[in-house]
Amino acid sequence: MEVRATRAGPDHLGEGPCWLAGTAELLRVDITAGAVHRWSPSSGRQRTDRFDGEVGAAVPRANGGLAVALDRRLLLVDPEGRKRVVAEVEADRPANRFNDCRADPGGRLWAGTMSKVREPGAACLYRLDPASEEVEVAVPSLTLSNGMGWAPAGDAMYHIDSTTQQIDVFEFDAADGRLGDRRRFAAIDPDDGLPDGLCVDAEGGVWVCLFGGGAVRRYDDAGELSAVVDLPVANPTCPAFGGADLATLYVTTARHKRSPEQLAAEPLAGTVLALEPGVRGLPTNRFAG
């Protein structure tokens, strides 16, 4: 399978890609640079918005704005760029920050935190209601909340707590956004890399990036490994389907903390990569708040 470099990047710590169908752009963040990028594959043009802090994620809103995870705060940004803080968490944990965030099919925002010092159980996965703007803990006692996504039928939610070296799947109630039973969906050997971001395709396959493992994997809906794509970089971070037909898999990558020697050996580190895996993705969910 051919993997090609796009003209997007390089990022220090590229993350959180998602496809904006209305403008045919790929939205992504560069965490340590405090940047939110909108990049057009057709024109090559990129618009960047800067924030003062680490931007864990940016999620499109139904009104055209963004929900942005900045350090330990959740901001709503309107289409004109005005910002409003709607939640702040874990003020007693200065070594934590928000990491991956996604909207579910019902428009709720799911936002996970991570411990930058890998303190076991210090992080959580939160759920933000779009109507009340109330935030509550959905999954406590995590360490590095990471990739998440929903099955095509909307009855299951996948989630990664990276240091557990596995992907979990929860029963999901689409009507009220509540989580049910949790089980291990797939285990990943530490020698193969750290499970990072994920996305779900239209057939129910789960694609996951292996940070430090230089690959993206697909597990079918039964949790069986069905594809492995080797990449020209050691640290892929998150996959997302995009393009007019959602047939292109984009993969953000990182050059963060790589030595000069490592970067010389990986000239594409930090670049957004692209490939056509033969399956299509699902449309991007938007936060309804």
**Any catalytic annotation for residue 196?**
yes
Query: Residue 5 phi/psi, 5° resolution?
Result: -85, 140
Q: Which of 11, 30, 100, 196 is catalytic?
A: 196
Positions annotated as catalytic residues are 196
